[in-house]
C-alpha cells in the first residue's frame, strides 16, 4: 500500500496501477473520508475492495465544509492508526493531501447544489454542502474513479452528491453503503469520541426513536408523517440533555418533506432523519422506512 501526499504523485501511481491490468479497463474505487477511521469506514473500504480493482482512500479534513464556529481545529485525527486500518482493509493507495495541496490559493470556484442543500443539515450548517461538493468534485477530478463509496449515515450528503453527479454528467457511480452501528444501536461516527460517558448513554435515544417510529408503522398502516414526527420527538425528549436540531420525515432522495396528514404506508422512498445536540456535540442518524414490514401488517 502506498501513502501519497501530492496530486502529481497520486496521478502517476494510479496510471501505473491501471497499466498493470492491461487486459481490460481497471475499475478505480474511491473512498473519500476525513480520517479517524472506524468500522463504518471499514465497511466502505470493504465494499470498495469487492467492487473495484484499485482502491484509493482519501483522508482530508476539509476546512471549507466547516463553519467558523465548528470543530475544524479539534476534529479528531490519527494518521498512523488510519494508515494501519487502511492497510488491514487491503487499500492500494492512501491519499493524504495537505490543505495547501488541495487549496494552493484562495478558492474562486465553488460547486454548489441548490435546493437539496437548503434543508436539514444545510439549514443549520450554511455553506457546509458547498464545501462537501467542491472537495468531492476535486477528488473526483484528481482520482477519476469509476465508483465512489459513501456511508448512508450522511444520507443528505449522498443525495446531494448523487444530484451533483447527475447534473454535471460526472462519469462516476455513487455507491451508498449501510449505516454501521454499535451493538447498542449508536451509529458510528468519528465525532462520537467527543461524547462524555453520560452523553454516550443518552445518545441512544436517537436509534431508539428511529426504531419506535418504524414499529409504529409496522403496527398501523394508518400512521401519518405527523405521528412519526411526534414519536421521534417524544423519544428523543426522554433525554433531558438532548437538544433537537431536526427530527424529520421526507422522501428520499428528493428530501421533500412529507405533509403532516400523509400516510407512509407502502412507500419505500421514505427517510426519517435526526440531528440532535448533546452539549457541543451534534449527532446525526437516520433510517429508511422498511416497506416489507409495512405491507406485512395490511
Ligand atoms: O463524509 C465525509 O467524511 C466528508 O463529508 C467527505 C465526503 C469526505 C468530504 O470531505
**Radius of gyration of the CA atoms of the chain, in A:** 20
For residue 176, pLDDT beyond 60: yes
Q: Choose one of 157, 158, 159 to mutate for the ligand 1 pocket test, by most ligand atoms within 8 angstroms of C-beta.
A: 157
Residue 21 predicted with pLDDT over 80? no
pLDDT of residue 137 exceeding 60: yes
- H/E segment holding residue 287: strand 281-288
- Nearest CA, atom 3, ligand 1: 33
**In the predicted model, is pLDDT for residue 298 greater than 70?**
no
What percent of the chain stands above pLDDT 90? Answer: 91
Among this protein's residues, is 41 annotated catalytic? yes
Residues of the chain with pLDDT > 70, as a percent, come to 96
Q: Is the CB of 85 under 6 A from ligand 1?
A: no
pLDDT tens-digit profile of 221-242? 999 999 999 999 999 999 999 9
Task: Kindly tell me if the per-residue pLDDT of 292 is higher than 70.
Answer: no
CA of 32 to the centre of ligand 1 (A): 6
Grid-cell match 475544524, residue found? 72
- Rounded to whole angstroms, the Cα distance separating 8 from 18 reads 16
Work out which ligand 1 atom sits closest to the CA atom of 61.
10
Q: Distance, CA 236 to ligand 1 centroid (Å)?
A: 26
Which three three-digit cell numbers place residue 40? 463504518
Span 249-277, mean pLDDT?
94
| pLDDT band (50, 70, 90) for residue 290 | confident
Taking residue 187's Cβ as centre, other Cβ atoms within 10 Å add up to 23
Ligand 1 pocket, residue 34 CB under 6 Å: yes
56: cell is 484509493
Q: What is the DSSP letter of 37?
A: -
Can you tell me the distance from the alpha carbon of 254 to that of 39, in angstroms, rounded to the nearest whole number?
28
Q: Residue 23: pLDDT above 80?
A: no
DSSP notation for 258-286: PPTT-B-TT-S-EEEEEEEEETTEEEEEE
Question: Does any ligand 1 atom lie closer than 6 A to the CB of residue 33?
Answer: yes
pLDDT tens track for 65-119: 999 999 999 999 999 999 999 999 999 999 999 999 999 998 899 999 999 999 9
Task: State if residue 132 touches ligand 1 by the CB under 6 angstroms criterion.
Answer: yes
Give the pLDDT score at 297: 43
- The bridge status of strand 242-251 relative to strand 270-278 is antiparallel
Q: Going by CA atoms, what residue is nearest to atom 8 of ligand 1?
A: 33
Whether omega for the bond prior to residue 207 falls within 30 degrees of 0, making it cis, is no
Does the beta carbon of 214 lie inside 6 Å of ligand 1?
Answer: no
Structure confidence at residue 22 (pLDDT): 64
Atom of ligand 1 nearest to the CA of 190: 3
Task: Tell me the C-alpha distance between 43 and 23, whole Å.
Answer: 29
Say how many Å lie between the CA of residue 196 and the centre of ligand 1. Answer: 24
pLDDT at 268 over 90: no
Q: Choosing from 38, 41, 46, 128, which is the catalytic residue?
A: 41
What's the rounded mean pLDDT across residues 140-157?
98
Contact 65, 131 (CB under 8 A): yes
Ligand 1 within 6 A of 65 CB?
yes
In sequence order, the 6+-apart residues with CB closer than 8 A to the CB of 235 are: 205, 208, 209, 212, 213
134 lines ligand 1 (CB under 6 A): no
Structural domains present in the chain: 2-177 (3.40.50.620), 190-288 (3.30.1300.10)
Q: Which atom of ligand 1 is nearest to the CA of 136?
A: 9
Tell me what the mean pLDDT of segment 182-192 comes to: 97
Does any ligand 1 atom lie closer than 6 A to the CB of residue 154? yes
Distance spanning both ends of the chain, measured CA to CA:
53
What's the mean per-residue pLDDT of the chain? 95
Q: Is the pLDDT of residue 172 over 80?
A: yes
> Given this model, what pLDDT does residue 294 score?
43
Amino acid at each position: 500500500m502506498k501513502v501519497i501526499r501530492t496530486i502529481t504523485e497520486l496521478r502517476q501511481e494510479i496510471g501505473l496501477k491501471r497499466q498493470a491490468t492491461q487486459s481490460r479497463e481497471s475499475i478505480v474505487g474511491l473512498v473519500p473520508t476525513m480520517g479517524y477511521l472506524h468500522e463504518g469506514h471499514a465497511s466502505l473500504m470493504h465494499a470498495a475492495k469487492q467492487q473495484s480493482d484499485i482502491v484509493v482512500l482519501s483522508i482530508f479534513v476539509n476546512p471549507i465544509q466547516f463553519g467558523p464556529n465548528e470543530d475544524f481545529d479539534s476534529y479528531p485525527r490519527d494518521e498512523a492508526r488510519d494508515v494501519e486500518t487502511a492497510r488491514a482493509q487491503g487499500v492500494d493507495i492512501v491519499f493524504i493531501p495537505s490543505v495547501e495541496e488541495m487549496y494552493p490559493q484562495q478558492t474562486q470556484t465553488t460547486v454548489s447544489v441548490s435546493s437539496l442543500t437548503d434543508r436539514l443539515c444545510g439549514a443549520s450548517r450554511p455553506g457546509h454542502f458547498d464545501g462537501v461538493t467542491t472537495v468531492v468534485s476535486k477528488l473526483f477530478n484528481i482520482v477519476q474513479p469509476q465508483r465512489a463509496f459513501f456511508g448512508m449515515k450522511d444520507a443528505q450528503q449522498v443525495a446531494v452528491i448523487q444530484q451533483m453527479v447527475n447534473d454535471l454528467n460526472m462519469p462516476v457511480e455513487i455507491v451508498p453503503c449501510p449505516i454501521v452501528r454499535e451493538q447498542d444501536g449508536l451509529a458510528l461516527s468519528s465525532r462520537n469520541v467527543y461524547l462524555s460517558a453520560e452523553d454516550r448513554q443518552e445518545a441512544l435515544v436517537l436509534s431508539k426513536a428511529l426504531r419506535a417510529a418504524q414499529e409504529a408503522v409496522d403496527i398501523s398502516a394508518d400512521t401519518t408523517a405527523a405521528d412519526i414526527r411526534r414519536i421521534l420527538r417524544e423519544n428523543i425528549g426522554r433525554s433531558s440533555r438532548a437538544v433537537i436540531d431536526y427530527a424529520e420525515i421526507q422522501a428520499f432522495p428528493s428530501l421533500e418533506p412529507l405533509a403532516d396528514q400523509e400516510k407512509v404506508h407502502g412507500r419505500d422512498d421514505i427517510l426519517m432523519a435526526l440531528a440532535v445536540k448533546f452539549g457541543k456535540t451534534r449527532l446525526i442518524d437516520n433510517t429508511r422506512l422498511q416497506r416489507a414490514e409495512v405491507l406485512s401488517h395490511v
